[in-house]
Chains A and B, each alone.
Chain A
């Protein structure tokens, strides 16, 4: 069975700082990778996804993620954060064999104005 780990539980940074959130998964086969965001009081929303092709994926709101197969990683990045990026971010993975989406524990990001 696949599993997902997110290294940071909480991140605090100032506006305009760069953000990088780590995500590692364990599964030996082909995977599909996702980042979801949950803004305060809102439902989970898809930020970006990777299935195949270019390992650098661009998503909404200036976010991007890089899939490094050799490291089983799919880190999320944003060059310059805004106060509105305050949210909880979840990395998730499913396998080519099935739909089951497995989530990491999440990282709470607080951007100070």
Chain B
């Protein structure tokens, strides 16, 4: 099966600029997740979607981050405006059931300068 697709792979922006990341999950996976992985740390959940509804966004900095999953398939994560501390790898994952674990994409490495 095709994996989780993410783009772009790399992005460098200046602080206060905006940026968007795109994710296409595995076909048929109803649950989609965005994680933030700062260098030297484990991934941290930002937001979880079930189909096109938000299940958990308790750790999403809503003053600058937003995410949507229109039509319950692809998803976009946006940061506006970016801060230096947003430099990280943004991972998208999807799952069919909790018991299966998640399948992760390759991530987008964001550098904010």
Chain A residues packing against B (C-beta within 8 Å): 4, 6, 32, 34, 36, 42-46, 49, 51, 90, 92, 94, 96, 98-106
Which residues of the partner chain A approach B107 to less than 8 Å between Cβ atoms?
A: 43
Q: B residues within 8 A CB of A42?
A: 106
Flag if A44 contacts B104 (CB, 8 Å). Answer: yes
The total of Cβ contacts below 8 Å across the A-B interface reads 56
Chain B residue numbers with a CB within 8 Å of A46 are 101-103
- Interface pair B42/A105, CB less than 8 Å apart: yes
A44 close to B43 (CB less than 8 A): yes
Contacts A42-B106, A94-B98 supplied; 13 other A-B pairs, CB < 8 Å: A4-B42, A6-B42, A34-B101, A44-B91, A90-B42, A98-B55, A99-B31, A99-B98, A101-B101, A101-B102, A103-B42, A105-B41, A106-B41
Give complex CA distance A102, B55 in Å. Answer: 15
A101 touches B45 (CB 8 A): yes
14 contacts between A and B (CB under 8 A): A34-B101, A43-B91, A43-B107, A44-B104, A46-B101, A90-B42, A92-B42, A98-B55, A98-B56, A100-B45, A101-B33, A101-B101, A103-B44, A105-B42
